[in-house]
Amino acid sequence: MTKKEFQECFDQHFDAIRNYLYYRSGNTELATDLAQDVFLRVWEKNIKYEQGRTKGLLYKMAGDLFISYTRRVKLQNDYLQSLPLTFKSIRVDDDIEYEELKKGYEKALANLPEKQRAVFLMNRMNGLTYKEIAECLTISVKAVEKRMSKALGKLRIELQLILLIICTYFIVL
């Protein structure tokens, strides 16, 4: 497919594919992302552009991508739900502080975007390597590294107060 043919295909079908994906997902951003993925795959696979036949193929690709996405999200959610969050109290007589620490940690985790939270929990709670996570989520190792880096950065910011409290415990001890 030439650049001109691709541009013509994109201009002619992008809005329709995005609207179809929006109808299925109810999410504008997701629909746009998936529609872009459809056309990225068309370009990468160098699919021959034929005026009448390409439209059906685009819809099929969009539907398949949407189903794949929903399965992956369901798998991630099931995995996250199966993880137990356990904490050990620093001192037995400090239940109030322990509960505050636990709530702060859970809040910080809940504030992470879903993809970053999944990667963080798979690595830190289950001890999976970046490569294992990449295989499980069918993404690249670089994507895992980027998500982990962003998750750690956000957690660092949100947990500054909690870290101050922990440091205070160690100074008091």
**pLDDT per residue as tens digits for the range 42-87:** 888 888 877 777 888 899 999 999 999 999 888 888 877 777 665 5
The token pair that represents 139 in the structure block: 């993404």
Is 74 within 8 Å of 35 (Cβ atoms)?
no
Low-confidence ranges of the chain (pLDDT < 70): 84-98, 161-163, 165-173
Q: Which residue is listed with tokens 């702060």?
A: 104
- On whether the pTM is more than 0.85, the answer is no
Residues 6+ apart with CB under 8 A from 116: 147, 148, 150, 151, 154
Residue 96 is predicted with a pLDDT of: 63
Q: Which residue is listed with tokens 């929903």?
A: 70
Residue 89 is predicted with a pLDDT of: 44
